[in-house]
Amino acid sequence: MPADPTPHGATASGTGAAGGSGYHPERTGGWTSGDAPQRLAQVALRDLPWEVGVAKPDPAVVVDGVTRTFGGLTAVAVDHLEVQRGGITGLIGPNGAGKTTLFNLLTGFDQPDTGTWSFNGQSLGKMSPHQVARLGVVRTFQLTKALSRLTVLQNMLLGAQGQRGESFFRALVPGIWRAQEKENTEKAMDLLRRFKLDAKKDDFAGTLSGGQRKLLEMARALMSDPQVVMLDEPMAGVNPALTQSLLGHVKDLREQGMTVIFVEHDMDVVRDISDWVVVMAAGRIIAEGPPESISQNQAVVDAYLGAHHDAPLTVEEEDQVLAQAEQTIAREEGSDGDVLSSERGPERTDR
């Protein structure tokens, strides 16, 4: 659907007719011009309705009708999703919700059964992972992939794009790539200093701790000057002190105009840094909205705790939940009591 620049005009039909046409080249540079870009993204997202599939003012990534099944299991079935450029979008959901599979699909590591998805209006379907990465969409992995038997600095240098010395024949003539290598080394050292890994530059990456590997992987991804950074559980297994510094780094990415999409389980982290949160359960997107909207969302609570939980609630919340639950029950009874409909119920009303 064509993304209307004014948030109020954005009607969330959910079943967008044509994805990917929301790219406004004249506005792309807007976020990088140094005038507090994160606020631009937040402002742009502030007035959007909290609906699944809502159109964003300036989407970097648009997903349409993407499904992926493994045998009989539908791992991902996303009708429509837009990711705001220059913002931090958190992707949450219970285990097995399909978050990582969605990441794999978006970055070309897996091919979907149906659907289209695009970055900056350019379709990414049928692209292999390295082509996606060259467009400026880099990812990290849930299980950190540090290249153990390379040094930290070599890990970093691998991330640089357009290296002349990476072609077989030009590699044989050091004169062609030496200057570029030196530039890349300086850039890598800058990044390593920012991530406090510069003292370890000559150590094998395999000797780093889990948290340091996460940092290295993020720094390595940044070597490629990406436009979209996709972080798969960047904080998992990282001690609290390091979490703070990692959070700072993620916010820095936004300041530099990058679009960040991350998967995370720690709700405090999600609340702290995301501009927008997308909740997945059983392969579907069940809710979208700013972080503060998510904890009140019945579908989300049901997805995480089951439909029949009894968590301690405040009186107001209790009333609210009760009203919603009654509504859902009433509707369920009307629709022959489909077992799954309690999860989907609120989503339907939203549309």
Partner 1 sequence: MADLLNALAVAGKSALGFQAIFFALLAIGINVQFGYAGLLNFGQIAFAMLGGFGIAISVSKWGIPFWAGVLVGLAAAVVLALLLGLPTLRLRADYLAIATIATAEGLRLLFRSVSATPVTNGTRGLSGFNGDFIALAPWNTSQRYSILGTSWSGGELWVALVGWLLVILGSLLVFALMRSPWGRVLKSIREDEDAVRSLGKNVYVYKMQALVLGGVFGALGGMVYAVGTGSAVPDQYQNANTFLAYAALILGGAARVLGPVIGAMILLFILQFADTGLRLLIDNGVIPDDLLSSTDVAQIRFILVGVGLMLLLIFRPQGIFGDRREVMLDAR
Residues that bind partner 1 (CB under 8 A): 107, 109, 128-131, 133-134, 138-141, 145-150, 154-155, 157-159, 161, 163-168, 171-172, 174, 177, 181, 204, 206-207, 217, 220-221, 223-224
Asked if residue 217 lies in contact with residue 146, where contact means CB atoms within 8 angstroms, the answer is yes
Closer to partner 1 at the Cβ: 177 or 304? 177
Instruction: Give the nearest distance from C-beta 201 to partner 1 in angstroms.
Output: 14
Distance between CA atoms of residues 231 and 162, nearest Å = 23
Instruction: Give the nearest distance from C-beta 172 to partner 1 in angstroms.
Output: 6
Closer to partner 1 at the Cβ: 197 or 281? 197
Closer to partner 1 at the Cβ: 1 or 106? 106
Closer to partner 1 at the Cβ: 141 or 304? 141
Instruction: Give the nearest distance from C-beta 154 to partner 1 in angstroms.
Output: 6
Distance between CA atoms of residues 214 and 220, nearest Å = 10
Closer to partner 1 at the Cβ: 11 or 148? 148
- For 185, left (φ over 0), alpha (ψ -120 to 50), or beta? alpha
Distance between CA atoms of residues 44 and 36, nearest Å = 13
Nearest to residue 186, comparing CAs of 148, 223, 225?
Answer: 223
Instruction: Give the nearest distance from C-beta 164 to partner 1 in angstroms.
Output: 8
**DSSP E strand boundaries for the chain:** 59-70, 73-84, 88-92, 114-119, 122-123, 137-139, 228-232, 259-263, 276-281, 284-289
Instruction: Give the nearest distance from C-beta 308 to partner 1 in angstroms.
Output: 40
Q: Which pair of tokens denotes residue 196?
A: 């406090």
Instruction: Give the nearest distance from C-beta 300 to partner 1 in angstroms.
Output: 30
| Residue 74, SS3 per DSSP | strand
Closer to partner 1 at the Cβ: 33 or 148? 148
Distance between CA atoms of residues 224 and 254, nearest Å = 16
